[in-house]
Amino acid sequence: MGFLEPRIVKVNQIRTPIISPAIIGDHSPILNTEVENSIIMEGAHIDCGKRITDSLIGRRVQILHDNSLPRGHRLILSDRSTITL
């Protein structure tokens, strides 16, 4: 496995504005989401209706929007993680 290199993203993968620098891996659809100053690795699927900034999203990660009640955040974080909600 090598480093993630900047790639030209195929038009059919993104249906949302990309704001400022972002590296998007292959086969990573981004829908209804703004991305700014972030790295999204291959196979990620993002459709959350939010703005993602200053982030590193790993391979095959799914970030989806949920309108169900009660509202809350379900988190799976590894050791020494930091998250701001």
Specify the pLDDT at position 35: 87
Per-residue pLDDT of the chain in tens (85 residues, 90 and over written 9): 455 444 445 444 666 666 677 888 888 888 888 888 888 888 999 998 888 888 889 989 999 988 888 778 788 888 888 777 7
Two tokens at 75?
């988190």
Closest CA to 57 of 36, 72, 42: 42
Angle at 34 between CA 72 and CA 10, to 5 degrees: 125
Specify the pLDDT at position 1: 47
* Full-model pTM: 0.69
Residue 20 burial (C-beta neighbours within 10 Å; 0-12, 13-18, 19+):
exposed
